[in-house]
Structure formats: C-alpha cells, structure tokens
Amino acid sequence: MFTYQHTCLLRATLTLTLLFTSANLSWADDTPDLSNTLRVASISFVPTKWDKDANVMQIEKYIHDAARQGARLVVTPEGALDGYVVNEVIHAKSLQSKAELTLRFQQLAEPVEGPYIQRIAKLANELDLFVILGVLLREGPDTTFNTTVLLGPKGEMVGRYHKTHFHQGYDVNPPGYTPGDKYPVFDVDSSKLGMMICFDRQLPEPARALALGGANLIVCPSYGGTGDWNTRMMQVRAYENDVYLIFTHPKQGLIIAPDGQILAESTGDAVTLYDLDLSRPTRRRQSIRLRRPGIYSELNREVSTEP
C-alpha cells in the first residue's frame, strides 16, 4: 500500500528524472557538430637560411607535434624549407657576390618533384593530414617561384600557389624569379582553401579574388611583418571577405574568424591550433553580396608614380 510519503517520494523521483533527461537533451543539442570541423595548426619557427636539411628536420618535428594534437591541416611559414633568401641575393654588395648568390639561389630551388617536397609528402601520408609548405620552387630550368605547395593525406601534391606580388618590386630580383598570376582554390575536407603569401595580404585584391573563387578559408604564410598593424590588417581581410584566415609567420601565428575575431594567437616558436566550424555559410556579408563589378573598370588602371 502506497502511503502519502511514498507518493511524495515517487513524485520527487519522477521530477528529478525529467530534469536530468531535459538537461541531458539540452546538452546534447548544444554540442557542436564535430563532423564538420577542421582542426588547423599554424607552426611558427625561424628557418635557417640556405639550409634545407636543417629546416626539413624542424618542419617534420612541428608536423609531428601538430599531428599528436589532432591537426588535420598544418601550415608552415613562407620560405620554411629554404629560409627565404631572395633578399640576400638582391642586397649583395658586389657584382661577384651577386653572381655567386644568384647561382646558389637557383641551385637551392626545389624541383616540383624534388626530394624535400617528397619527404614532407610522405610524412603527410603517414600522419593522414594536409601540409602547406613554403618553398622556393623551380619549374623548368630557369624559372623559380616563391610558392606554397599543398600536400595531401595520400602523399599527393593537391596543388600549389605562386606568390603574385613582390614587396621589393619586379626588376631587382634574381633572373627567372617570377610572380604568379592565378588564385586557385582547393578542397581540403569540407573547406574551400585559398592561399596567398606575405605581401599579397597588403593588397585587397588577392584575398577578394580567393573569396570570389569560393574560398571559405584563406591561408597566408609570411616571412616579413608582424605586430599590431598586421594583426588588424589580417582581421580586416577576414571580415571583408567573410572567411576564416590563418596567418603563419616565423614569429607569430594567427587564426581569425570570418567576423574578424582572433580565435587563437601565439608568438615565437609555437604550434597554434583551433577547430574551425565549417558548417557556417559564407559570402553572406554585404561587402560580398552587394558588389557592382560592372563599375570597377578603373581597378585595371596603372597607377602613376608622378607627383
């Protein structure tokens, strides 16, 4: 026979059960959809100039570190493999020194199927991840590019991007050192990924071209320029194009949301990680939707340097 006390106890038990179930259901509903996230890692270290052997060992160490923390995409700085040495050639103090450094520069350039790229590609395959590698690349006997190569989890080269804008200009570079002219976008799991390199970020057009090409994630390996001015500029590039942005420099890592918020940041030698939510729609911002391309013909005009 149920007493009044039994009835109260039963009611209390049912109430607690409903509350617990409700709490659990609420918690479950609020759980992010991890199936549509991409864990990215920006690895920062100062490469040794001219020394691909030393640098590839550093790169491998940081990739292993990022992989242990679950990274699916790992980004290295500009010139991570070779140490970014074009300025050494440009600023040589004598004709003889310039000639010697030019030859060394051309010999340093990695072929598309070169052994160091293949070494990192093999590691990407072993660890089942994507790697963006900054490299001085040689295509053909006389042509070199400042390049980022995208290596896939099957050990394949998914694609590559050649830096399109040079801070130093275009007439002081080693012979054959060539700017790129395309903005490809690549599939990396659920993301559409575009790349730009260093000085490209200081012009609005590269990031905009990538966004219009479908990118929802832009990666920017760099060698020069960090600090508050750069951080603000990277936030603007992310915001105005409604994309995630990863900035990877030897001394700084930044991961920025499409609304310009800094999601993760580091300085010095570091692995900077974040889980990007790729389920959010992109290109919703008015600065994308309300463009009027038909009235932008002036953008193709050369700028006069005369006062």
Give the pLDDT confidence score for residue 34 in this predicted structure: 61
pLDDT value of position 288 = 87
- What per-residue confidence (pLDDT) applies to 307? 53
Identify the CA nearest to 268 among candidates 9, 19, 42, 1.
42
- Strands 244-249, 217-221: parallel, antiparallel or unpaired by DSSP? parallel
What pLDDT shows up at residue 31?
A: 47
The ranges of the chain with pLDDT < 70 are 1-35, 304-307
Taking the model in full, what pTM does it have? 0.87
H-run or E-run covering 185: strand 185-188
* Alpha-carbon span 92 to 97, nearest angstrom: 6
Give the H/E segment covering residue 51: none
- Using CA atoms, how far residue 86 sits from 44, 50, 89, 243, in Å, is 20, 10, 5, 30
Report yes or no: 144 and 137 within 8 Å, Cβ to Cβ.
yes
Q: What is the predicted pLDDT for the residue at 33?
A: 58
CB–CB of 101/157 below 8 Å? no
What residue has token string 């070199």? 144
DSSP letters along 243-291, please? -EEEEEETTEEEEE-TTS-EEEEEESSEEEEEEEETTS--S-SHHHHT-
Report pLDDT for 18: 36
Q: Give residue 19's pLDDT.
A: 36
**Contact between 221 and 75 (Cβ < 8 Å):** yes
Let me know: does 155 contact 163? Beta carbons within 8 Å: no
Evaluate whether 201 touches 207 at the Cβ level (below 8 Å): yes
